[in-house]
Amino acid sequence: MNTSTEQKFETVIGLEVHLQFKTKTKIFCGCANAFGHKPNTQTCPVCLGLPGTLPVLNKTALDYAIKVALALNATVSSYIKFDRKNYYYPDLPKGYQISQFDKPIARDGFIMIPKDGKEKRIRIHRAHLEEDAGKIIHDSNVKASLVDYNRTGTPLMEIVTEPDLRSPQEAYDYLTTLKLILKYLDVSDCDMEKGSLRCDANVSVRPIGETTLRTKTELKNMNSFKAVKTALEYEEARHAQVYLSGGTIVQESRLWNEEKQMSIVMRTKEEAHDYRYFPEPDLVPFVVTQEEITAIAQTLPEFPDVKINRFKTQYGLNDYDANVLVQDKDVANFFEECAGGYKENKKICNWLTGAVAAEMNSRNSSLKELKVSPQHLTALIAKVEEGVVSNLVAKDILAMMIDSGQSADIIIKEKGLAQVSDDTALEKTLDEILKENPGVVAQIKEGKDSAMGFLVGQAMKKTQGKANPKKIGEMIKRRLLNA
Amino acid sequence: MITKKDVEYIAGLARIHLTEVEIEKLTTNLGGILGYVEQLKKLDVTNVEPTSHALPVQNVFRPDIVKPSLTQDEALRIAPQKHDGAFKVPQVIE
Amino acid sequence: MNLNELTAHEILDLIKDGKTNPADVYLSVVNAVKEKDPHVKAYVRTCHDNPDLASAKTNAAFPIPTTNKDNICINGNETTCSSKILTGFKPPYDATVIKKLKSAGATFVGNANMDEFAFGSSTENSCFGPSRNPWNLNCVPGGSSGGSAAAVASHQTIWALGSDTGGSIRQPASFCGVVGVKPTYGRVSRYGLIAFASSLDQIGPITKDVTDAALLLNIISGYDEMDSTSINRPVPDYTKALTGDVKGLRIGIPKEFFIKGLDPEVKKSIEDAIEVLKGKGATFKEVSLPHSEYSVATYYILATAEASSNLARFDGVRFGLRKQPNTLRKSPIVDMFEETRDIGFGPETKRRIMLGTYSLSSGYYDAYYLRAQKVRTLIKSDFDKVFTECDAILGPTAPTTAFKIGEKSDDPLSMYLSDIYTIAVNLAGIPAMSLPCGFSKAGLPIGLQIICKNFGEETMLRIAHAYEQATDWHKRKASAV
Ligand SMILES: [Mg+2]
Ligand SMILES: [Zn+2]
């Protein structure tokens, strides 16, 4: 990072991601793990923390956590225990969060992020399983706060990096890469707006060449990857400014204010909590065998980086195309199904990243929701290649396929959209055109080839675009030039 | 030895508002109990594993199957204060 | 004959023979409560007027009037742990033991008084005031399940539930001259028991004789999917263990239980009890529990640490008491937390929360909490060793008989030491029980403690039953009411 003066600074960033799992039920009770319901309708005595109630671990939440751990190339602990993290807050029903302190599920992982056309390894310090808290709504009308416990007990995985990120852009790239991996695992919606993926950042800044870490600040309340990047840019500049003016940075938590585009101090470390972690006596320890880990490893999907490489070698796609396809697991799978039955890989890719992506966008739908089958799409592409329909018309047909669920074949027949290739019909049309344009005919006979296009255009007009232009060209040549 | 200042700090952590008299008394009480507990330091516990659970049970799970929740009404019936389907509390200042 | 003075098994026999019916039994208990409880103060609340809890279903297997401790949740029934902070708290669910009792057909008499959150050994730490010992109203009934034991001893119920974290069933059973069982940790579900120390708490029966203890244990035991720490293991019929035969059983007498502080009258009664069992063919040997002298210290670190966290949910947000702050000190929400907890908790509760918070706080964890967990391991392995050569351990339940109300309330440490024989059992997780084995010259009951290895309830009950058959201490009626 460059500042206005001579001194050059380096930014050091570590990220903490909280990921909500999309299990059917909460982590420690049978309440539905559902978003967007009326307040306090997804609660029970357990997740309300009523006296006398006890937690029981959701097996699927642990399996998901192990999946994430493996995807992060981390060591999965064979002995897992939960601990209580004690603090008071109205959204925390029991006065403690069930979390993991000294025996997290995962340790010492890494993921690779793109960096200047190459890759950079970002180390994962640890990842652990815990429960989410409720939501506080600040109601200025009643001069009070309102608490909704629907979210309480949603399974959360906290993923903590080492301070390996060196710029806001790297942080952004890490989040993008991580999100893609997590989407492939299918354990979370990874939707920052809905809060199913949240990110806090620790930032410090030091003069280039310095090897020890300087005081960090913690940034919270960013609600998009873009906001994380902007907040980090703001914060690194702030640190640098403070250092340049001879000041010192105070260790503190700061809230990112999206509206004002600045970070605002939240609380200083002196008031920070003494969490009094101790082993959760209400839950027993969990022992994960190597066999169980192997079994879960076998359910893991092919990860994006591997898939990109395979797409390049197996389907002859270029780097860009392979990357674009792999960004959406469903699109990538769809591509492979198409490519299995139809060999024009580049054309399939173009259709998926072009027309199909456009339909997904305009309809705000996923590929699955569009309900187009790979067979239907390749059949449509084949119609274009065979000259039955033009590219332009085919795009309209795609929209109709999505609306009706019918195949291209049926739509073309029913709507009469096929290009006219029938010789007798075309010969008749051609008769008319040649009669109507004697001047042009003369020019062609004199060898002015370029005039041919005019006649083709006329034919297209008369057939309302259904004629096959290539075929018309051939027929004109045969008639006028005996070719 | 536990001091008055320790007791004040602990009371803050435990979220109990104590009077000056209570703090004095607790400093004495806790000092006495902690003095008694000092005897544990006589024992050599190197290489002894800590016990968190009485019985060595492991791997107790719940299947990921939805059970009925309380209704909003049932959840809020016991609330000291409620408003608009939520538990109402004094303002939380961030 | 007064029906309320019978045991559950006697009542069941009478009902079977058509000589009485559940409604009459319940009524006799209600009348006893009306007559005696103004003196004993065993109950904090009765549920006579709630037909759902007071009337037995026809053909119920166990239509027995049952007393609940005020820390076990009954759906819709105010449950307060004898604490102001739970004023008005009506749980929207049943504890698992209550579910089991309801489906067995039990009826409920009311909630019994206790030390606030089970913090105490005398039932004096109750926001409702102390309960009294039915054998001498100036004495404590013991605690924390003092109300339950006093209700059983004064025949204001047929049987009762208690909870035992460090002796809270056995010590009041001993002080009141009744039978009290602390089952193996995990034998009975804790779901719905308002937690004191999660790794030590167990619910158990307080009854008039050993047969009733076996019957009630039959009803409440078993694996519960709502409690991860309950043990998935079949429940035997405990009444089948009551054969009267103790021939060849090897019983250990820990030398550490017979040291200074043990009342000579108590000591004599235990020695007499040993002779009785010897007469029935049991063999005795001296054993050692070398770390038992550390159990009280270990317990007060671990139990209060867990309690400080378990009691964090009493914050005025979702249920129970809330104090709306008048002036701003820290912030509106923090002031509410702190002032609610200030007025809601009594002095002993505050003391334990403070101690537990301290031992978990930054910088002290290793010196106190972790070290105590390690000593817990040593205490546990003392028992393991003894049980390789013994089927049971026998000794006093408490070092003295019931003490006077107010006698120890200003000295928390001496109060804690009254649990010296019971606490190690909870640290080890093993089952233990107390049953009457004599009376002091002052007419106060003395309790005999039997301790077995994990899931040794059958052996334990068999020894107790054999002793009970040979004596008639359990037939004496409390004299003060
Ligand atoms: Mg976290
Ligand atoms: Zn729930």
Select the more confidently predicted residue: C76 or A477. C76
Can you tell me the distance from the alpha carbon of A476 to that of A460, in angstroms, rounded to the nearest whole number?
A: 13
Chain B nearest-CA residue for C453: B55
Higher pLDDT, C69 or A453: C69
- DSSP one-letter string for C188-256: B--TTBPPSSTTT-EEEEEESSHHHHHHHHHHHBS--TT-TTS---PPP-GGGG--S--TT-EEEEEGG
Contact C374 B45 (CB under 8 A): yes
What digits encode the pLDDT tens for the residues C73-93?
999 999 999 999 999 999 999
Start-end of H helices in A316-465: 319-326, 329-341, 345-351, 357-363, 367-370, 374-385, 391-404, 408-415, 423-436, 438-445, 452-462
**Cβ–Cβ contact A438 with C under 8 A:** no
Q: What is the per-residue pLDDT across C415-430, written as a single tens digit (0 to 9) for each?
A: 888 899 999 999 999 9
Facing residue for B87 by CB, picked from C184, C225, C318: C318
Could you tell me which residue, A368 or A222, shows the higher pLDDT? A222
Does B77 reach chain C within 8 Å, measured CB to CB?
yes
pLDDT at residue A180 tops 70: yes
pLDDT of amino acid A272: 55
Whether the complex's predicted ipTM surpasses the cut of 0.95:
yes
* β-pair partners for C449: C395, C434
Q: Mean pLDDT of all residues in chain C?
A: 97
Model pLDDT, residue A420: 61
Question: When comparing pLDDT for A141 and A255, which is higher?
Answer: A255
What pLDDT, on a 0 to 100 scale, did the predictor assign at position A422?
62
Instruction: Kindly give the pairing relationship between strand A106-115 and strand A118-131.
Output: antiparallel
Mean pLDDT of C281-299: 96
Amino acid residing at C338: E
Q: A30 CA distance to ligand 2 centroid (A)? A: 6
Q: What is the mean pLDDT of residues C116-136?
A: 98
Q: Is A78 on the interface with B (CB under 8 A)?
A: no
The confidence band for A474, taking pLDDT boundaries of 50, 70 and 90, is confident
Rounded Cα distance between C136 and A410, Å, is 97
pTM equals 0.91
Q: How far is A283 from chain C (nearest CA, A)?
A: 6
Q: What is the mean pLDDT of residues C20-25?
A: 96
Res. C353 pLDDT band, cuts 50 70 90:
very high
Q: What is the pLDDT of residue A269?
A: 44
Q: Which of C410, C409, C408 is nearest to C399 (CA)?
A: C408
Closest-CA residue of C relative to A273 is: C362
Q: Using the predicted structure, report yes or no on whether residue A483 has a pLDDT greater than 70.
A: no
Q: What is the mean pLDDT of residues A36-59?
A: 97
The sheet that has A118-131: what strands, in order across it?
A: A75-76, A106-115, A118-131, A155-161, A9-20, A197-207, A217-222, A252-257, A262-268
Check whether A268 has a pLDDT greater than 70: no
Mean pLDDT of B52-80: 96
3-state SS class at B88: strand
Query: Which of C331, C361, C426 is opposite residue B10, by nearest beta carbon?
Result: C361
- A279–chain B nearest CA distance, Å: 7
Q: What amino acid occupies position A65?
A: A
User: Would you call C357 and A45 a contact, using CB atoms and an 8 Å cutoff?
Assistant: no
Q: Is the pLDDT of residue A392 over 90?
A: no
Of B40, B37, B21, B30, nearest to B3 by C-alpha is B30
In the prediction, which pLDDT does A2 show? 54
Closest chain C CA to residue A145:
C333
Report CB contact under 8 Å: A282, C194: no
Question: Parallel, antiparallel, or unpaired: how do β-strands C283-287 and C202-207 relate?
Answer: unpaired
What was the pLDDT predicted at A106? 97
Q: Which residues of C are catalytic?
A: 69, 144, 168
Question: Across the interface, which of A54, A56, A96 has its CB nearest the CB of C190?
Answer: A54
Please give the average per-residue pLDDT across A330-337, as a whole number.
92
Q: Specify which residues A159 forms β-bridges with.
A: A17, A127
CA A148 to ligand 1 centroid distance, Å: 19
